[in-house]
Every structure is written in C-alpha cells, then in structure tokens.
Homo-oligomer: A and B are copies of this chain.
Amino acid sequence: MKPKRVVIIGASACGAKAASRIKRLCPACDVVILDQSAFISYAACGMPYYLSGKVRELDDLVKTTYGRVRDVRYFNDLKDIAVHTNVRALHIDRQARRIDASNTVTGESLSLDYDALVLATGARPKTLPIPGANLKGIYHLTRMEDIQAIALEIRNRERGRAVIVGGGFIGVEAAEALRAKKWNVTLLERESQLFPGLLDFEIAAMIREHFYEQLVETEFDAGILSFEGEGGQVRKVITQSHSYPADLVIVAAGLAPHTALARAAGLEIGQTGALKVNAHLQTSDPAIYAGGDLAENTHIVTGKPCYMPLGSTANKHGRVIADNICGMASTFPGVQGTFVCKAFDYAVGATGLTETQAKQMGIDAYAVSVCGFDKAHYYPDSQIMALKLLVENTTHKLLGLQAVGKGDVVRRIDVAAAAIRLGAAVQDILHLDMAYAPPFSPALDVFVTALNVAQNVKSGLMKPVTAGEAKKLLDEDESVLMVDVRSDLEFRRAHIGSSKVVNIPLDELHARLHELPKDKKIVCVCLLGLRGFSAQRILDAAGYADVRTLEGGMFLWPWKDELD
C-alpha cells in the first residue's frame, strides 16, 4: 500500500498501540501522536498499586518490560513515531482532512494533514454536581497528575482519613491502597452494593463482608449532599445520614467518554453516549477511526451497544485500527464485560451477563451457584471460592460467570470468557479437560462442577434455593424448616439465627428422619452446597415433597453479620 500520514489524538493505550502497530505493518507510514498531557503511554490501571506501595516508582508505570521509559524520545528513536505532548486538538476539518491544535504550554498553533485520523481521546471521570466539588483534596484516580498529588497527601499525613465515592473497581482498589498506608477509609456508594451493575448482590456482598474485616467503613444507598471545607481544603463529606471527616476524597463515580472533539466534527454518537464505530472501528467518517475509552463497543452476548472502558480493550482497539489503516481488513469482535478486581485478599470478577442484567433485559435464564476450592483442598494455601453461572433456558448457552474468593478466581473467569465467546452450551463443554495437579486445581475443577450442577438443576435433580429466596422464606413463611447438615462443631461456630433452623449432621440424617415433619418446606444447608444436595436427595427419596438445597451454602450467605 501507499504510505499514509496518520495522525493519532491521544498517546495512551489505544493511541500508542495503534501507532506502534502501524509502524510495524508499514514502516514507511508517517505517524504523529498528539496528547494534551505531559504524560504519555502510562499504565493508568497500575496507579492504585503505586499508591499502596506495591509499585515502587511512578516511573515503573511508564517503562517497557525491559525497563525503558516510554517517553517522546522512546517513540521517536525506537519506533520512528513523532509525539507532541501538551498539545490539544481543537478542530477536525473533515473535508480538508486536517486537524488544528495548539500547545497548551507555549500557546503555539499547529495544523496537521492526515490520510487517516485516529481518535483515542479517552474518557474523563464523572464529577459530582454538589456543593464543594471544587475544594482542594478532592481527586479522581485517572491521571498521573492525580496520583502524584494523592501520593504527596499520603506521604505528608500519617493515618489520615480518606472518603472514597463510588464502589466500582477503581473505588475498591483505592480503598485497598489507602488501607495499605494505614489510612482510615470510608467508601460511599449510592447503590445498595459494591460493583453495582457489574455483579449480582450476593457475589458483591462477599467483598462487602471482607471490607468489614479490613476495617473499611461503608455506607450504601448513600445520598451525598455536599463536601465541606476549611480554607479551600476539603474537611468533611456530608451524606443524607452522616457526616464523615475527610483529609482526602477520591471520586470514582464512573467515566464519561471525551466526545467533544468528535461531536464538534459531526461524527455520529452512539446510544450509550460514546462514539459510534463499526466493526473496523471506523467512525461515521471512514477516514476517522476511534478506539479506547472514547468508543462504544458491541456486547458479544447481547449484540447490543455498550460502554465498557477498559485498558485491555483499548489495546486491542489499537491493533485493529492499525490493521485497517494499513489495509488489513481486521474487525473487533466486541466485548463481553469481562473484568477482575483485587480487593485485599479477595479477587472478584465476571464475564458475560449477571443474573440482574439478564432479568432487566428479559432474557430467560437460570443461575446456579457453586462453592469449591481453587486447588486440591488439602494443599496448604487452597482457598474456597464461589462461582455463579448463568445459563440460557432454551439453548443452555452459557451467558455469564461471576466468581469471588481468596483463591484463583481469574482462571475460571477466563475459561468461561472463552466458552461464552465461542457460544458454548453447557453440554458442549461438559467434562472439560482442564489442567489438574494438586498445587493448581482440585481433581474436578469448580468450573467443571458448576457445569455439572447446571445439568443437575436442569434435570430437576437438584432443587436450588438462593440465599435471597431462603431468607425470604425464613422471614415470611411459617411452613419452612431449614436443616443445617453440617457437623455439630461447624454449626455451633456460626449458623443462621432462627427458630426455623435445626442442625442434623448429614451422617445422622438417615437415623433422625422422624424429627423432620413431612408437611414442611425443607431447605438443606451446609458449608459449600454439596452435603446440602446429598441431604436433599435423601429427603427426596424418603418422600418429602418440597425439599431444596441452599446454593453455595453458608459460604455464600450474604448476611454473615447477622449469624448466631
């Protein structure tokens, strides 16, 4: 192909990746990147780990794998790519294929012609439209400037008080980072759970529980009224029910795509508010490509547009854009909402749809929850985790998986991501030959077990009840009896506090059947769900008409603070 002049706006994940790939595909292309910041090509997702001290130097976030800083010279010398920092793009002349920009430091103007233009302007953090939002000490966690300022605050004050607004993954990561520095941390979330919109309630509740253990204070359904300050510095965060002292506030209330430049140029905006692109990542102007946090994606499971800004997606966008600019007809297949987040000792993640999302969309699906160990249970650092698998009713297709626990949850998320991407139904992937050795996996991987349980539920063998349903039955239904089949010791340590709960260890169940009235609705409970299922089958066989198994057992019970 004829070498092109490519102008890229934004030198972060998508822009930098596109530039590098274009130069590898077509070294004769002339590639110029403009970025309005002085910092380029940094690993924004690594910022919380610099705050916590896990990443020692801020420079580590801008170094290559072999220790070279990705600065303007790096792009120039190694990649023959021109990068202009502190340059803000002002106007796109689509007719003339020219971009006007100016240097925010020197005030200098510049004008660049392009054959292809790449918009990778990213997203900006949402701000709160409340009094005091402009006080000093209120930060976001998206730019290098933020992180430098927050790091300074932490260094200058021991055991300060931080309030984090927003319980998505940036808020959760920030909470961990600040606790690592021994700060007092309060997290405010306007929804009633962590990871709202990303996880189902009971999965997110596992992290809420772990936050208690880590001494992170939380307020849910929090209506934030104002920030109060002294001498221009934030001092308090006021919600409808509380007032929280604050030396530092981090607002992590989501991202909004930076569409101003694209809008002004008349490019089509998608229904999510992000920039609309086709599968080749072309905007409504075929000479203009867009990717990263600016662009709308297609959700692989629903086929619908979605806005899911993530660094991993941005990098993939960059590659696809480069291919297309260089004449290889690449397409981006879309995203499926896969994520993972470290929250202190826990990891939590998901791929595909949650049960809540499926319900909102009217998708006919059933969910099964399964607990198991990440490694052979006798291996020293094995950990329990919970998986929640969502399956479409008519097709048995996997729609989503959520996973939470102290162990290796990310592996199971990624396996499910592959299966969902490939459109697998439960039966297509049953008995999957996963890698087994005691330091890594149990003989039957918990993902394989989840597929088995989905089959058991579908065939009517297992009759599950979720924690939410079980709690409702306990609270409202007089005819319910909950049989906790764990050992006497396990039961005494902690159990659901209700007169409707009895303890009959599984190995005594046969002998003590006479204690269980046949006219009750019975819910069988154990630690992880397996003994409960065995008990359900014993009671089924003994002629009990309405017996169910508490899915995920006590491990996944979301109200652990109310246990006896």
Q: Which listed residue, B339, B440, B506, touches A436 by the CB 8 Å rule?
A: B339
Contact status B311-A66, CB under 8 Å = no
Query: What chain B residues lie within 8 Å of A79 (beta carbons)?
Result: 534
Query: What chain B residues lie within 8 Å of A63 (beta carbons)?
Result: 378
Contact status B531-A66, CB under 8 Å = yes
Contact status B490-A66, CB under 8 Å = yes
Query: What chain B residues lie within 8 Å of A341 (beta carbons)?
Result: 437
A430-B63 Cα distance, complex, nearest whole Å: 26
A108-116, A147-155, A210-218, A406-414: which lies at the B interface?
A: A406-414
Query: Among residues 355 to 380 in chain A, which have CB atoms less than 8 Å away from a CB atom of chain B?
Result: 372-373, 376-380
Contact status B13-A46, CB under 8 Å = no
A53-61, A90-98, A182-190, A229-237: which lies at the B interface?
A: A53-61
| Minimum CB distance partner of A431 in chain B | B316
Given A443-B13, A534-B24, A377 and B436 contact (CB-CB distance below 8 Å)? no
Chain A, interface size category, equals 35 or more
Contact status A338-B438, CB under 8 Å = no
Contact status B169-A431, CB under 8 Å = no
Query: What chain B residues lie within 8 Å of A445 (beta carbons)?
Result: 312, 414
Contact with B along A217-255 (1 / 0, CB 8 A): 000000000000000000000000000000000000000
Contact with B along A458-488 (1 / 0, CB 8 A): 0101000000000000000000000000110
Contact status B528-A335, CB under 8 Å = no
Q: Which listed residue, B438, B444, B526, B537, touches A45 by the CB 8 Å rule?
A: B438
A261 at the binding interface (Cβ < 8 Å) = no
A258 at the binding interface (Cβ < 8 Å) = no
Query: What chain B residues lie within 8 Å of A443 (beta carbons)?
Result: 13, 43, 45, 311-312, 314-315
Contact status A419-B417, CB under 8 Å = no
Q: Which listed residue, B78, B316, B373, B424, touches A65 by the CB 8 Å rule?
A: B373
A328 at the binding interface (Cβ < 8 Å) = yes
Contact status A377-B541, CB under 8 Å = no
A51-B533 Cα distance, complex, nearest whole Å: 35
Contact status A351-B538, CB under 8 Å = no
Known: A46-B379, A55-B380. 17 other contacts (CB 8 A): A60-B378, A65-B373, A68-B487, A77-B507, A78-B534, A169-B437, A312-B434, A312-B443, A315-B444, A316-B444, A328-B459, A340-B435, A340-B436, A342-B437, A410-B411, A421-B432, A421-B433
Query: Which 7 A-B pairs have CB atoms at the shortest separation, nearest pair first?
Result: A312-B436, A340-B435, A27-B541, A411-B411, A60-B378, A418-B418, A77-B507
